[in-house]
Amino acid sequence: MFSLDLIYVTTGRHPALEKLICEATKSDYAHAAIGIEIEGQYRIVEAVRPAVRIVDGDAFDNCQIKQVISLPINEEQRQAVVNRVFKLVGTQYGVDDCIVSGMHDIFGEHAAELVDQLINSEHTIQCSGAQVDLVRAAFPDFAGEGPGNYFTPEQSRQCAIAYAEQLGVAA
């Protein structure tokens, strides 16, 4: 049995931006990523500038604030996530996508759709959007049907807590 770790952090590396995200979303967490075994090593996958990347598994060890929600997965699910990781790596990070998720958080799905049409974020992704997309490779019903880029880190975290409870796993 493997685990898919849903990681929520405030790193302290970008204090002004992190404070803005945390204040706007009423959360302690400004960033979302996943942790998973890839080619025999625990790795973290995250969407940051300039693009989605794979980093060492200890990349968030010194974060100011961190929560990890581990979902149990089998080998087939792990491989589905890893395959999706390799498709997403290199996808351009879109700060505009953060605006879309913020609009969704504050004003709902219709507002997010309107903003998304204006900025055309079809070929970019933000951190929690990447996380939701990757989790859905193992759990297609994770976080409902909305686009992953409509989720803030806090909204994804709340979905992860509920999903862990649904699976009978402590969050």
How crowded is residue 3: how many other Cβ atoms within 10 Å of its Cβ? 17
Q: In this predicted structure, which of 16-25, 37-46, 58-67, 105-114 has the lowest mean pLDDT?
A: 105-114
Q: Which of 130, 166, 157, 171 is nearest to 30 (CA)?
A: 157
Residue 115 has pLDDT above 80, yes or no: no
Collapsed DSSP state (helix, strand, coil) of residue 110: helix
Confidence of residue 104 (pLDDT cuts 50, 70, 90): low
Where do the domains of the chain lie?
A: 2-167
The pLDDT tens digits for 45-77 are 999 989 999 999 999 999 989 999 999 999 999
Which residues is 5 bridged to in the sheet? 35, 70
Quick check: helix, strand or coil at residue 73? strand
What mean pLDDT is predicted for residues 99-124?
71
Q: Does domain 2-167 have CATH number 3.90.1720?
A: yes
Element (H, E) at 131: helix 127-138
